[in-house]
Amino acid sequence: MPVAVETCRKVYVEAKVVANEQIAPDGWKLTLAAPQIARAIRPGQFVNVYVHAFDPSVLLPRPFSVYDYEPQRGTIDLVHQAIGPGTRAMSRLEPGQTAPIAGPLGNGFLMEPPAERLLCVAGGIGVTPFLALLRRYPHTQTALLFGGRTDQHLFGRDDFERLGVEVKLATDDGSAGHKGFVTDLLEEEIRNGGAKPGLEIASCGPPPMMRAVARIANREKIPAQLSMENHMPCGLGACRGCAWPVKAEAGKGFTYKLLCAEGPILWAEEVLWPAHEKC
């Protein structure tokens, strides 16, 4: 099993806010000037935002996947939902203000050489790692299978369409695309195209969705990489609060990986799902 590795040293910077655009009723795209990070980051890695700098009530940093980055401009984009005190404070940032961030953190997607066909399966705000990933492979046949509670929770789908990515939608209430689970779309893709050699899957979203994606991928023997999420109190591997169970390399028993340092990208075949993570 290939292992994704870090490609650069982490840096801490006071990033200047370039723009902060509302893209949904509770969704925002924050553009930060962070040249060192923009030049070094790879799709799937994340940054920590030290929210206490502009909201002292929030003590711990918040991790965010980098939605997009432009090395020449030296900027990174973070897409988030304003649902808690930290993210609400981020939504109020204005151009010219600064936000302390650290990154790149974690590993990234490992698709070298790129797949012949890449399916990205996203749930809600879990779409954030995929714009940068799909932009990196312009000559690969790609599709985004994107699910959300409603049409309003399909953040940034226009960005993918402008990139030329085939986008298929699923919503719980049927307000856009298929009414039902996004994994229904994945099953349909596999039925129609088959689990042919050269097909790979990348997924990010709620744990029950990713557990279902992993089950499908493992059943069909399709390589799949999951962008995992857990509580990341420090984001640097020191507190061990983000440990996730995985199969031991010897094939017997289990061990743990720290998602902030050895993840967040894990292979579907190695992930073990706690009993409370039900589909």
CA dihedral 110, 112, 118, 119 (to 10 degrees): -10
Which one is predicted more confidently, 18 or 236?
18
How confident is the model over 160-178, as a mean pLDDT? 95
The single-letter DSSP state of residue 271 is: B
| Position 111 confidence tier, pLDDT thresholds 50, 70, 90 | confident
Give 245-276 pLDDT, tens digit per residue: 999 986 678 999 999 999 999 999 999 998 65
The pLDDT assigned to 206 comes to 94
Q: Chain-wide mean pLDDT for the chain? A: 90
Whether 70 has a pLDDT exceeding 50, the answer reads yes
| Position 6 confidence tier, pLDDT thresholds 50, 70, 90 | very low
The class that CATH gives domain 117-229 is alpha beta
Determine contact, residues 77/31, Cβ cutoff 8 Å: yes
Measuring CA to CA, which residue among 113, 104, 81, 14 is closest to residue 54?
14
The pLDDT assigned to 228 comes to 95
Residue extents of the structural domains in the chain = 11-105, 117-229
The pLDDT assigned to 137 comes to 85
Q: Is 104 helix (H, G, I), strand (E, B) or coil?
A: strand
Please tell me the number of Cα atoms within 13 Å of 64 on its side-chain side.
Answer: 28
Tokens of 185: 């779309």
What whole-number distance in Å separates Cα of residue 270 and Cα of residue 217?
A: 12
| Range list of β-strands (E), the chain | 11-24, 27-33, 46-49, 62-65, 68-70, 75-81, 98-105, 117-123, 141-148, 166-171, 178-179, 199-204, 224-227, 243-247, 254-258, 265-267
Whether 3 has a pLDDT exceeding 50, the answer reads no
Q: Is 190 helix (H, G, I), strand (E, B) or coil?
A: helix
The class that CATH gives domain 11-105 is mainly beta
How confident is the model over 19-24, as a mean pLDDT? 94
How confident is the model over 29-48, as a mean pLDDT? 96
How confident is the model over 191-211, as a mean pLDDT? 88
The pLDDT assigned to 194 comes to 64
DSSP per position, 137-154: -TTSEEEEEEEESSGGG-
The pLDDT assigned to 195 comes to 64
- Lowest mean pLDDT across 19-33, 70-84, 179-193, 241-255: 241-255
Whether 223 has a pLDDT exceeding 70, the answer reads yes
pTM of the model: 0.91
Whether 279 has a pLDDT exceeding 60, the answer reads no
Whether 4 has a pLDDT exceeding 60, the answer reads no
